[in-house]
Structure 1
Amino acid sequence: MKGFRSTRRAMLKQGAALAVGTALLAGGVASSGAALAAGQTAKGKSVQYVTFGLQFEYQVAMVDGIRKKAKDAGINLQMIDGKGDPNLQVTQALDAVSKKPDALLIDPVDAKLITAGVKRANENNIPVFMMENPPPEGKYEALVEFDNAAAGAMGADVLAKMVDYKGTVIEVRGSVGSEQAQARHTGFMDRMKAKYPNIQVKSLNTEWIADNAYKMVLDAMSQNPDIKGVFSHNDEMVRGVVSALRQTGKLVPPGKPGHIYIVGLDGTPLALSRIRGGTQDASIGQDPIAMGGNILDAVIADFEGKPFPKSTSIEPVLITKANVDDPKLWGNFGKKK
C-alpha cells in the first residue's frame, strides 16, 4: 500500500453543512481486483461495517455520517458495534465475511488482532477498507486515517505554552494496543523532550475510558498536588479528569490561581461546551465527517470501477475559546444559532 505522496484539501458535506478536513493523499490511486465495468453504480451493493465502538461521541458522529452517505448512494450498510473490544471485533469481522458482502469496512481497536478478519476477507475476494488503524498484514484497498503523531505534538505545544513551559503535567492515554494511542503518545512525548525540557510528564494508561481517567488522575493528584496540566488522548476521558479535579477541589476557573489546564482530543460537542464553560481549555480536533466521507467515497468508487486514493490522512486542528464557535467544526454541526 505504499507509493508516492501528495497533498490536498478535502471538503465534504453532511446535509447542508460543510466539513473541512485537510487531507494528505498517499499511494496514488487504486481500483481493486473486484472493480466493475464502467457505468456500474453502487446502488444495491452490501457493506459490512465493523465500528470502533458507539460509546464514543466521535465514533457516533463518524458512523452517522457513513450511514447517511451510504443511504444516499443506495448501499445496503450493515453497521456492527465493536464496543471498543478488540477480541469482539475479530469475531465480528469473521462473521461479517461469512455473510459474503460486496465490501468490508473496519475501524479496528487493535490492528494486529484484526488481521485475522482482513485475511479471511482476502481469501474470499471481499475488498477491505480500513479506518484509522491499518493491519500489519493482509490486503486492504483504501485507508483513511488521522495524523495522530501531529495531534500529539500539537497537544504538547499548546499545553506547554499554557503551563508557562515548566512543571509537571499528566498524559491520559488511550489503549496500549491501539496504534492511534501510541502515535499520539509518541508525538506528545517526542515534542516535550525536544522542546520543553523543564516539563515533566506523568503518563497514565487509562484505555480510552473516562472512569479509568477519573480514578487514576485522582490518585496522581493526591501523589503530586502541584500538577499544572493534563493532555487527554480523547475528549471522552476529560469527563473523568474534570470529575477528579472537582473531587480534589482543584477545578479552578480559568484565569484564577491554581487553574489546571486541560487539553483533549477529538473536538466533540461536549468538549466544545466545556471549552465555552471554562472546564476544558482546548481540544485537538479531528473531523469524523471528513474521515467517513473519504472512506465511503473510496468504497463507492470501487463499486463503480473508478480510481480512488489508496490513503488519506486528516490533519489536526487546534480548538480554543478563540474559535470554539466556528461553524465548520464538526462539534458544532446541528448547533442552534
Structure 2
Amino acid sequence: MRGQSFSSQLAVWGLSLLFLHCSRPVPEAPAPGAPAPRETIILGWSVSSLNNEFFVTMKQGIEDAAKEQGITLLQANANADVAKQVADVEDLLQKGVAVMLITPQDSEAIVPAVKRCNDKGVPVVVVDIGAAGGKIAALIISDNYQGGRLAGEFIAEKVGPQGKVVHIQCQLGAANAQKRGQGFKDVMAEKGIAVVAEQPADSMKDKGMTVMENILQAEAKIDAVFCQNDNMALGALLAAKNAGRLKEMVIVGFDGNREAMNALALGDLAATVTQNPYQMGRAGVETAVKLVQGDKVPAVIKVPVSLVNSETAKSLHQVPE
C-alpha cells in the first residue's frame, strides 16, 4: 500500500528476520560422555632414503596408518645425505608437526635434529636405525641382535668350525644395524669360525658389489658371506657370480625384500633375516597418535624377525595385497 508508513515497513521486516532466525536448525549438543572431536594431527616423517625397498615398504605402512587415522602426513626424503636430513627435520618443525617420526641415515649425525625437536617440545619417534643422543619418546626397531645371531647360526651350520666367512656392514654410524653384526660375530666367536674380512658398504647394492669384488681378489677361500642388509647381499651375489665363485659359498642377507626373495627362490641367495618394515611404519603412526593423546608408550618397541631360506621364501607376504 502506497500510504503505508516507514515505521510499519520496519516492523514487517523485523518480524520476517525473526521468523528466518527461528526457523534455522539448532546444532545438536554432543551426547553425554561422547568424545570431543579430535583436531587433525600433523605428523612429520624424515626418512634417510627411499632408494631401498625396505624404506619404501615402511612408507606404505606409515601412509596407510595415517590415512586410517585421518592424519595429515608431511614427508621428507634425505636421499642418504645426513646434512639434508637435519635440514629436513627443521623444515618439518617450521610446518607445525605435532610429532616427528625419524628414520635416520646415521645415528650420530641425527642427534642435532633430535635435540632441535626437543627444544620445540615436539615428541620424537625413531623408526629403525636409532639415535645416539637427544630425548626419544619411543624407538621402533627390529630385534637386530637376535637377527644377527640367526644369520650366524645358519652360517655356522652350513660351513662348520673350519669355515672362512666374510662380513659386509651397513654404514658404521647405523647403530642398530651394527647390532646385527654383533649378534653374527658373537656366534662366529662361540663356534670358533674365522671372519677373514669385514668391510662396510653403506647399505648400497653397488657398493656391496664393489666391496665383494675386492674381497674375492684378496681371499682364495670364502665359505660364507653375511651382509647386514639385502641390498649389499645382492651386490655381493652379483660379484661372486661374475667371478664364477658363487657355488663355493653361501650368502645371507637381512631385510627380506622382494628382490632377495626372488634370489632365494632361484637358489642364488642362501637365506635372509626378514624384518617387517610395513608393520614398523604402522607402529610409528600408532605410537605418534598415543603421544598426542597423552598416553604412555613403551620406550622401545621391538618388531620380531625370522630367518627364511629358499624353501620358505615363497610363502612370505610382508605387505598386504
Cα deviation, 1:54-104, whole Å, max 9, x if unaligned, reads 011111000111011101111110111122222221111122212221111
SS at match of 2:92: helix
Q: Which runs of 5+ in 1 are unaligned?
A: 1-37, 253-257
Please state if 1:214 is matched with 2:209.
yes
CA contact (8 A) 1:103 1:126 kept: yes
Q: Which residue of 1 aligns with 2:309?
A: 320
Please state if 1:58 is matched with 2:46.
no
* Structure 2 length-normalised TM: 0.84
1:298 pairs with one of 271, 277, 287: 287
Please state if 1:123 is matched with 2:112.
no
Cα deviation, 1:94-123, whole Å, max 9, x if unaligned, reads 222122211111011212221211111122
Superposition map of 1:230-309 within 5 A:
230-252=225-247, 258=248, 260-309=249-298
1:177 pairs with one of 173, 186, 191: 173
Q: Which has the larger radius of gyration?
A: 2
Aligned identity (percent) is: 26
* Structure 1 length-normalised TM: 0.80
Q: Which has the higher strand share?
A: 1
Q: CA deviation at 1:136?
A: 3.3
Q: CA deviation at 1:225?
A: 2.4
Please state if 1:330 is matched with 2:290.
no
Q: CA deviation at 1:133?
A: 3.2
Q: Which is worse superposed, 119-128 or 52-61?
A: 119-128
Change (3 A) 1:299 1:247: same
Q: CA deviation at 1:324?
A: 1.4
Structure 1 CA distance for aligned equivalents of residues 38 and 114 of structure 2 = 22
Change (3 A) 1:126 1:268: same
Q: Which runs of 5+ in 2 are unaligned?
A: 1-33
Change (3 A) 1:137 1:238: closer
**How many residues of Structure 1 are paired with residues of Structure 2 in the alignment?**
288
Cα deviation, 1:143-191, whole Å, max 9, x if unaligned, reads 2111211111111111111123322111111001110232112111122
Superposition map of 1:150-165 within 5 A:
150-165=146-161
Residue type matched to 2:305 in 1?
P
CA contact (8 A) 2:203 2:228 kept: yes
2:104 pairs with one of 99, 108, 115: 108
CA contact (8 A) 2:261 2:313 kept: yes
CA contact (8 A) 1:42 1:304 kept: no
